[in-house]
Structure 1
Amino acid sequence: MNVFKLLVCSCLIVLISCSEDNDDSSSGAVEKNLIIKLKFDPTQERLGNLGEPVSVEVGNAAQSPNVSKMSANYIEFAPSALTALGTGEIIFEGAETTEGGARAIHFQNAIFAGHNETFLSIPLSQVRAGHYEWVRVSLAYQEGDIQFLHTDGNEYTGTLASFVGYNTYISEFSLNGSVLPVNSNKLQGFWAFESSGFVVEGQAPEGATTVPNPLFNSSPIPQGSCVVTGEFENGLTISGEETEDVVVTLSFSTNTSFEWTEVNNDGKYEPSAGEQVVDMGLRGLIPSVD
């Protein structure tokens, strides 16, 4: 009987030892992640295509939309201002398709995130160790509320969907419960506006969407690509030996980013008066390491 008890105890010790050996959390071997969060800031500086502060164009008016969600199709860390687009550390590429003809962002497979929400989380082992000074983000879609003046003289709230990617294949999309069938590619600047179940759609002029790139001279981007560029204040260093998650927040400026041509010079968006949307581009990017 004593021998039997001894054998049972020995087996239990072996099982406990094996369990501890296979428990990554107890050994500290749990892999850490790179987490990308989004932020939308109406007080952040308003920038132009060259990354310089700009005012609203004469003859136009603008407002800061209340952005509720956004999607990106590409994120890249760049070591220096001389790093050409596509030669840095690409950490994310969204789904694309040729279903609509030319290569385009696949809207139905896109990833979305709201203010202060996580857009992407990947193991740090998938990120090349190094020091990065810049981040590039190819924006694809943004959605948010804006104010407009109705023919009855009252202001109302509507929701604007802005397709700012280089080219987007859309089978259909829903805006506040209203489903819009498209089944085709749409170039940068396609938009739809919904209020109280009424939906209109349109197309901003080619090249009108603002895409701030402070590295315009050293690292240009293709026309219509919507690759917004921002600089880390103190850089981002990935050592490959992190013991904590690395959280990067991408803060986008929504400072008077929704812009239209004025018919009535009152600073209010009046679609019924024929005022046309000309720009929906985000007005700058400030990345930070939390």
Structure 2
Amino acid sequence: MRTPQRVPAGGLPDEVTIYEVGPRDGLQNESAIVDVKVKAEFIRRLVEAGLRTVETTSFVHPKWVPQLADATELLAQLDLPDDVRAPVLVPNERGLDRALAAGVREIAIFASATETFAAKNLNSTVDEQFAMFTPTVQRALAEGLSVRGYVSMCYGDPWEGDVPIEQVVKVGARLVDLGCHELSLGDTIGVATPGHVTALISAFTAAGVPIDKLAVHFHDTYGQALANTLTAFREGVTTVDSSAGGLGGCPYAESATGNLATEDLLWQLNGLGIKTGVDLPKLVETSVWMAEQLGKPSPSRVVQALAG
């Protein structure tokens, strides 16, 4: 299997962390329910390929995301190595109760930077969402869990259009102040461009949020995900969310297409000589297998090139 010629570039980290979201963010928008055994096998294959952070599922109410209704059953089928982080998304205290009962040690909460998306996704306002998050995060921290915070619609909103940078920073900084150990900045509808990425990251650090607390999460709607990710690396970010095979979207934002494909990211990182610990050929095999389970080809350009 072909590999890129390694030619390092200056101003980039020596090593990055890939936060794999395929099993949760990647599958949540699939209309046909994926069998829980297939999901468990998918996660095992991702781990065998070298991924050490795999977001497995969500404890959201089954009515809202039917695809993830089997969260408890799925986690019961997993027996992952001790060095693998397996976070789950929780929307509120009820979700946290289920996560704790399942033995989860790391959770993520999902906030909105805009009023319209907060209303559609969380049935709240931007301010009201924190009334829901606060007891959830406080309890999780008291139980010794790590808490990640997502901020959605950081670069644009399909209903509100442009989103002011200061508005995004205000929401994100509140999550950090609440106790989130990491903050993932989501380009939910894939409209970001490199200059915007630089400006947002700079605004967060200027507001006192350390660069090592920031992660990035890009969708590839307009083909900008890799360029935006490279820009974030140049700004000092070392954690990036991606989805094996480019799976994913957002059930509450129809204009959102797939996440940045982990294989496309790995091709770039391997060419730059940046360490990830992930075996690209094994991951390609995994995404080809998963595409067969879903009955449709992977949108990842690297998967298409290497498996074609």
TM over 0.5: no
Structure with the bigger RCO (C-alpha within 8 Å, sep 6+) is 1
> Under a length normalisation based on structure 1, what TM-score does the superposition of the two structures give?
0.28
Which one has a larger percent strand, Structure 1 or Structure 2? 1
Which one has a larger percent helix, Structure 1 or Structure 2? 2
> Under a length normalisation based on structure 2, what TM-score does the superposition of the two structures give?
0.26
